[in-house]
Amino acid sequence: MQDEKPPMKKLPTSMLPEETAPRPEFPEQEQTPPGLDAEMEPSPDHGETSYTGSGRLAGKKALITGGDSGIGRAVAIAFAREGADVAINYLPEEQKDADEVIALIKAEGRTAVALPGDIRSESFCQSLVADAVEQLGGLSILVNNAGRQQYCETLEELTTEDFDATFKTNVYAPFWITRAALPHLQAGSAIINTTSVQAYKPSPILLDYAQTKACLAIFTKSLAKQVAKRGIRVNAVAPGPYWTVLQSSGGQPDEKVKQFGKDTPMGRPGQPVEIAPLYVTGIRCLLIYLRTGVVF
């Protein structure tokens, strides 16, 4: 008689009933960038009440840029519920959202570190990593998630200032932050970059944003090959249409926000909690050989 196999360890779950997921048409809700999750209607689901962890990241120490809202917020909640200590970066004007995330992390009994500041500054990126390492007591996970997305109808209307701001946020900042973080990352550590489906299926009104996400996807693959011998995994997640404040604060025209996600197979945008488990899975040894991948 064969021995019974032990039960499989519970995977991270997000319990969002499909029948209750918000669908378009959504109300008008244009916000000044960077915007606030707290002012979105309907409110996005980041896992506040729907994500159940299982201790898969116990002892890990994570830094997440853009951790106050959207996908970054969902990842911060998931990491804390999986047992990690978490530092989040955000802009000072996003403090209201950040305060909520910090409270949620602390509610799980984890260390929560708030690190506001503008990652378009190289010197700030260096101090961001140093402060995260000091206050967390180390670093084993880096999530480059913060992004800038502002739609522009024509190339002629795209200013050099906007083009530069998008590249500084989406390309330069991950480079600066990752370079500063690498000396602190030991074998078994992980870097996850948030790219976008826009890197592969660009929209005409997101010309600069799409370019930056393609850059980040290639950065991910190249860096993964470079640091694999050090035992550090580098992967990326490329979300499609998710219901985040990135869209309603200038990322899409308001008429598109009202119908956001309608053209997807499910007829709705994804909720941030639905993609957070990919970030958890990308860190664990379940995908230890997935060292150069971009997950869609």
Question: What is the tens place of the pLDDT at every residue in 14-73?
Answer: 444 466 788 999 999 999 999 999 999 999 999 999 998 989 999 999 999 999 999 999
DSSP three-state, residue 61: strand
Taking the C-alpha atoms of residue 246 and residue 261, their distance in angstroms, rounded to an integer, is: 14
pTM: 0.91
DSSP annotation of 239 reads -
Alpha carbon distances (Å) from 66 to 32, 85, 166, 273: 17, 16, 14, 15
Q: Strands 61-65 and 51-52, how do they pair?
A: unpaired
- Which tokens in the block code for residue 25? 């048409």
Question: What is the tens place of the pLDDT at every residue in 7-23?
Answer: 434 444 444 446 678 89
pLDDT at 4: 46
Catalytic residue among 172, 209, 242, 279: 209
Alpha carbon distances (Å) from 222 to 215, 225, 227, 236: 11, 5, 9, 12
Taking the C-alpha atoms of residue 287 and residue 234, their distance in angstroms, rounded to an integer, is: 11
Q: Is 5 left (phi over 0), alpha (psi -120 to 50) or beta?
A: beta
Which string of b and e fits 63-76 if b means at least 16 CB within 10 Å?
Answer: bbbbbbbbbbbbbb
pLDDT at 282: 77
Closest CA to 282 of 109, 57, 80, 131: 57
Taking the C-alpha atoms of residue 246 and residue 278, their distance in angstroms, rounded to an integer, is: 20
- What mean pLDDT do residues 186-204 have? 96
193 DSSP β-pair partners:
144, 236
209 is catalytic: yes
Cis peptide before 265 (omega within 30 of 0): no
Domains defined along the chain, listed by start: 57-295 (3.40.50.720)
- Which tokens in the block code for residue 99? 């305060």
Question: What is the tens place of the pLDDT at every residue in 151-186?
Answer: 999 999 999 999 999 999 999 999 999 999 999 999
In the chain, the amino acid numbered 108 is E
- What mean pLDDT do residues 215-221 have? 96
CB 119 within 8 A of CB 65: yes
